[in-house]
Amino acid sequence: MRYRSGIGYDVHQFAEGRPLVLGGITIPHTKGLAGHSDADVLAHAIADAILGAIGQPDIGYWFPPEDNSIEGICSLKILEKAAELVKETGGYIENIDSTLIAEAPKVMKHAPAMKVAIAKSLGMEPADIGIKATTNETMGFVGREEGIAALASASIALPER
């Protein structure tokens, strides 16, 4: 096998009247995130990390925001597509590591449930999914609680060429 890694980054602004979905789990909070899908910033960063590791375009290519048929799509479906594309290469996802960056809400108590949801969508074990959280120390748009950012990395094993 040969090993590849990819990185992903995503950010969404807070929006009134929407649920806050992170890692496939609805998190209690006063605001959700704005987006064409459910705006799951964590799932989007993970999907882009996976897609990058296999040399594919980002999620906007596979799930274009102008496609009204997928408006409100659950981002776990996006993860399922990323995993399907890895499987088509004959490879598999070794592990995921990720970081949520938000002043609020505090999310680590939800991390075990997020790991289960993400792992199920990717055909992995929850133990192979890393989720961390940090703040932006009150700096920038995250620090002003205008939105949430996420970073992710993915390690993929691919067959020899």
Give residue 132's pLDDT: 98
Give residue 161's pLDDT: 84
Q: What is the mean pLDDT of residues 69-98?
A: 97
Domains and CATH numbers, the chain: 2-158 (3.30.1330.50)
Give residue 107's pLDDT: 95
Contact 61, 123 (CB under 8 A): no
**105 prior amide bond cis, ω within 30:** yes
Give residue 27's pLDDT: 97
Within 8 A by CB and 6+ apart from 139, the residues are none
Q: What is the mean pLDDT of residues 83-112?
A: 97
Query: Residue 143 — very low, low, confident or very high, per pLDDT cuts 50/70/90?
Result: very high
Q: From CA 130, how far away is CA 154, in angstroms rounded?
A: 10
Q: Which of 39, 28, 25, 22 is nearest to 98 (CA)?
A: 22
Q: What is the largest CA-CA distance in the chain?
A: 50
Q: What is the mean pLDDT of residues 96-113?
A: 97
Q: What is the mean pLDDT of residues 86-102?
A: 98
| CA dist list (Å): 92 to 123, 152, 153 | 9, 17, 14
Give residue 148's pLDDT: 98
